[in-house]
Structure 1
Amino acid sequence: MTMIRQATMQDTTAICRMDAMVLGNTSRAQELCESVAAGDCYVAYLDTDIIGFVIMNQSFFKQSFIQHLIVHPQYQNQGIGEDLMLHMEAVCPKDRLFTSTNLSNKKMQRLCHKLHYIQSGIIDNLDPGDPEVIFCKQIRKYAPKTYPSKVQTI
C-alpha cells in the first residue's frame, strides 16, 4: 500500500536528489525547497524511503495545478504516480484540477487519460519543438469515509 504524507523540510534532500535523477540536473532544487516550505508538496514513501512526490499549488490562473509529479525510476509503472494523483484530487481545494506535460511525455499523458483528465489546450514555445499539453479534471468531492482510494494517508 502506498503511504502518502505532506512533505517536511527534512524530505528536501531526498526530493531534490530524486528530481535531479529523473530530470538530469539540479535546476529545480530551490523551487522544490520553496514548494515544501509552502506546504505544496506531498511524498509517497515505502518504509522510510521516499519513492515519489507531487507538487500542487494555485499558480495556474488561480486554479489548482499539479506542477510536478516524479516517481523514482525503480518504482515507476507500479501505480505510485496514480496514487499521488488520486491523493491530490482528494485534497484539492477547488472543483477542478489541472496539470500539464510535454507532448513527448507519453507516460504522463496515458496516466491523465486513465484518470479521466481531458485535454484542455496546448502551449507552444515553452520547450522548443515539444509543446506543453494542458489537462483538466472536474473533481468530485467525496466524504473522507467514502473516498475510494488504496492510499493510506497519515
Structure 2
Amino acid sequence: MTLIRQATMQDANAICRIDAMVLGNTGRAQELREAVAAGHCYVASLDDGAVVGFVIMNQSFFKQSYIPYLIVHPHHQSKGIGQDLMLHMEAVCTTEKLFTSTNLSNKRMLRLCQRLHYVQSGMIDNLDPGDPEVFYCKKIRKRAKAIASPVQAI
C-alpha cells in the first residue's frame, strides 16, 4: 500500500537520492530541500516507511498550482505510485486549475496525464534541446461564487 504525506526535512536525503538516481546528477538538491522546507513537497512511502517517490506542487505558474516534479524511484515505477501522487495533489490543490509539464520524450508521464484526463495546453521549444516541454492542465473544482445576502433597510 502506498502512503502519501507531506515531506519533512528528515525525508530530504531520500528525496535527493531518488532525484539523483532518475536525473543522473545532484543538480536539484538545493531546490528540492527548499521545496520540502516550504511545505511544497509530498512523499510516497511503503508500509515500511521507505520513501519511493515524491511530488512538488507550488503556485509558481501564473499563480496557479503547478507540479514541476513528479519522481518515482526506478525500482518502483509502473506500480501506480505516480498516479497516487498526482491524485493526492488534485485532492489538496487550492486553485481551480492544476498544471504540470513534461518533456515530449517522457512517454510515461504523457500517458499518465492522458489517463488522468489532463488537457494538453501547449508546448515550449528550446528548454531542452530537441525535446519540447508539453504543458497539461486539469480543472480541479469550480470556485463557488459568493452569494450576496439581501440587505434590509431599517
What's the TM-score, normalizing by structure 2? Answer: 0.90
Equivalent position of 1:122 in the other structure: 123
Equivalent position of 2:84 in the other structure: 83
Residue correspondences, number: 141
Question: Following superposition, which runs of at least 4 residues in structure 1 exceed 2 angstroms of deviation?
Answer: none
Distance in 1 (CA, whole Å) between partners of 2:40 and 2:17 is: 18
Which structure 1 segments of 5+ residues have no match?
142-154
Which one-letter code corresponds to 1:61 in the other structure? F
Deviations 1:73-96 (A, max 9, x none): 111000000000000000000010
SS of the equivalent of 2:26 reads coil
Distance in 1 (CA, whole Å) between partners of 2:44 and 2:10 is: 14
Which one-letter code corresponds to 1:48 in the other structure? G
Same amino acid, percent of matched pairs: 76
Structure with greater Cα Rg:
2
- Highest RCO, 1 vs 2 (Cα 8 Å, sep ≥ 6): 1
CA apart distance, 1:140: 3.4
Deviations 1:4-43 (A, max 9, x none): 0000001000000000000000000000000000000000
RMSD between aligned residues: 0.8
SS of the equivalent of 1:74 reads helix
Task: Identify the range of structure 1 (2-11 vs 132-141) with the bigger mean alpha-carbon deviation.
Answer: 132-141
SS of the equivalent of 1:116 reads coil
Distance in 2 (CA, whole Å) between partners of 1:12 and 1:21 is: 14
CA apart distance, 1:118: 0.5
Equivalent position of 1:18 in the other structure: 18
CA apart distance, 1:48: 1.6
Distance in 2 (CA, whole Å) between partners of 1:30 and 1:13 is: 11
Which structure 2 segments of 5+ residues have no match?
143-154
Equivalent position of 2:70 in the other structure: 69
SS of the equivalent of 1:140 reads coil
Equivalent position of 1:28 in the other structure: 28
Deviations 1:93-140 (A, max 9, x none): 001000000011010000000000000000111001110000000113
